[in-house]
Amino acid sequence: MTADSQSPTEPDFVQNPYGFYAEKRAQAALHFWNEYNMMAAFSHAEVSAVLKDRRFGREVPTELATEPAAHTVPFYKIEAHSMLELEPPRHTRLRGLVMRAFTSRRIKTLAPDITELTHQLIDQFPEGEFDLLPALATHIPVVIICRLLGVPESMADQLLKWSNAMVSMYMASRTHETELAAAQASTEFAEFIRSYVDEKRATPGDDLLTELIAAEEDGEKLSTDELITTCILLLNAGHEATVHTFGNAIKCLLEHGTDHGFLAEDKIDATVEELIRFDPPLHMFTRYAYEDIDVAGQTFKRGDQIALLLGAANRDPAVWENPETFDPSRPIKTNTAFGAGLHFCVGAPLARLELRIALPILFERCPNLALTQQPEYANVYHFHGLQQLVVTR
């Protein structure tokens, strides 16, 4: 076993982690990452296999569970009911309820909303230089997830503030101040959702929140706390990764001078998959071993953790030819950007649809869109997203 050091907050790594991934993956599929104090999988085969292996999971083994620090309790009170952190049977029930909102039929009905919203946002682009992230990439995901859930769009800016504070708890740059901000955001976010649940009970609508309330009342054992956490999870996950995906995708297309023909109806699906593969929004997901198991010659004991490096897996030369090259003409192969197995991202079809619709509209309406500053990634690992994306149209 090799042990390696690489600070996930080191500036050069933040801007380009792929060199580290390539070097380590060429040496071995697994390395012990000192800063995370756990094994990390760098190859597509091992990352994909562990994601699908039910002998690994997200939920902390009971004998390892500890009480959180007092000032973080509000955050972890929310996390305790998150399907992202649970295994069956609780995960099965929660995911089954949420999937009602992510049927292909319901997702397709959002296409006109995405189209209209994209045009509206482009209409509001300022003259001269501007940051495309708040002007477009941030708004599309949060507004659409608000509509899907049935939450007022007027709350979008506040929801973003709460969400940003909460997801900072997953970042390597996390500090005590981060924890305090996340706890406050968790408390306020939960209070808002709880009050809105009361409104939806009185005035049901055609939305996911109403469906979840109905399930609670129909005796499917969905508690109000689970309901609140599920809504918060969908709002957080529904925008955070997709915002990064949008920004990374537009940056990639502009930097590579990609022919706009690759955004045509018959080519957009392959282009979107390549964009997601080439620079995904989430680079690490961890799992606990639930029994003694060998992976790539390494033995994991129950309770051991493994870091699955999605960003490294997506550039594995064993799967993709010239993986460090952005090539929208590639035949589509399954990448790991949205995970795999039991915890495969339920919002993946929606994220793909948003990219599929918004990117062609953006470049059709702004054919001269160009970068005016070198884009910089934010210090948000294990996420991977831009700090700003300054352009002219």
**pLDDT tens per residue across span 47-94:** 999 999 999 999 999 999 999 999 999 999 999 999 999 999 889 988
Average pLDDT, the chain: 94
Model confidence over 157-169: pLDDT tens digits?
899 999 999 999 9
| d(C-alpha 386, C-alpha 379), whole Å | 9
Tell me the C-alpha distance between 256 and 271, whole Å.
Answer: 13
pLDDT tens for 351-375 read 999 999 999 999 999 999 999 999 9
Instruction: Judge whether residue 217 has pLDDT over 90.
Output: no
pLDDT tens profile 120-131: 999 999 999 999
pLDDT of residue 213: 85
pLDDT for 269 equals 97
**pLDDT score, position 1:** 57
Residue 117 confidence class, pLDDT cut points 50, 70, 90? very high
pLDDT at 3 over 80: no
pLDDT value for 175: 96
CATH number of the 3-392 domain: 1.10.630.10
